[in-house]
Amino acid sequence: MALFLKEKEVEQVLTMPLALEAVEQAMKDHAFGDAVNIPRERTRIPKGALHILQGALPGRGVLGYKAYTSTKEGNCFLLYLYDSVHGNLEAIIEADLIGMTRTGAAAGIAAKWLSRPESSVVGLFGTGWQARGQLEGLCAVRPIKKVKVLGRDWQRLKSFCEENSRRLGIEVLPAAEGRETVSGSDIVTTVTTSPRPVVCHPWVERGTHLNAVGSNALIRCEIDEKTLLQCDLIAVDSREVAVRECGDLLPLVEKGRINWHQTPELGEIIAGRVPGRRDPDQITLFESHGMAIQDLAVGALVLEKARAQGLGTELPIGC
């Protein structure tokens, strides 16, 4: 029978170190052709949409998909895990926390491979649910001491800074405007739904690493063109996904100013197939759009730990 895990049960076993390990290995497997990742498909209706990401990690014996709906009332995430050998449905997992944590882990892994090791100051655009995971992922891989955060709503910004200062034990401060957020930051992270750039030329200094997380549609754009052209290295999580979704890069590709052959996948850098940062003075960028195999890898470990602790509810379904 399949195991059903609710968000509260996922929270009991999921940690950022676990997610970092799972996501890094999944992306490395993908680089070596040992994983299958299918780009997100979307079914849109006037009042909402259904999004589906699917893939397989044969080395972990898992294949499956994440399905989530988005409406004005919010989002609903479910992850379905199958045994890749026998085809049995192993689990259905509420996956909001898994999605946030694996996204933060992907950014943390990008910072591990592309930012300068001594990076300690972060500039963060966004104060939503995903921004929490971004900070946690960065703090797990770099000696972060200070974060400057820019958000649209002052009360929400103030609360976000206070909460994450306590939670992470670092200085998290409100920023007044974009230039201040970027200036002096070793790592700059954008996790917004903005249709216009929030990071603009000439704010980004040499040696900076950028994580762009929110530009996963043509109507979204977080980094302006001049800044993108300044970057010495632009990496993506999946070229196949970026070709369909990257609102930051697609306009430059259409203009012939960059091409997809110049944009390695982060997994290829992890696997040593292409070089990452070569010089402390380089500006590097990671465009994160999300991959099914990231969800599957984290979900498989969550399932393993949940079973070991006797968590979840057995469902009378599955082959």
Q: Which residues are catalytic?
A: 66
CB atoms inside a 10 Å sphere around CB 1: 12
Q: Is residue 300 classed exposed, middle or buried when 0-12, 13-18 and 19+ CB atoms within 10 A define those classes? A: buried
Chain centroid to Cα 193, Å, comes to: 14
What is d(CA 44, CA 32) in angstroms, rounded to the nearest whole number?
Answer: 34
Where do we find the tokens 């109507």? 219
Report yes or no: 66 and 79 within 8 Å, Cβ to Cβ.
yes
Prior bond to 316 cis, omega within 30? no
- The residue length of the chain stands at 319
Give me the half-sphere count of Cα atoms (radius 13 Å) on the Cβ side of residue 44.
2
What is d(CA 97, CA 130) in angstroms, rounded to the nearest whole number?
Answer: 9
Question: What Å distances lie between residue 136 and 20, 270, 304, CA to CA?
Answer: 11, 20, 23
Rg (CA), the chain: 19
What is d(CA 268, CA 282) in angstroms, rounded to the nearest whole number?
Answer: 19
Report yes or no: 16 and 105 within 8 Å, Cβ to Cβ.
yes
Question: What Å distances lie between residue 319 and 10, 185, 266, 277, 316, CA to CA?
Answer: 24, 52, 36, 47, 10
Here the tokens at position 99 are 């999605």
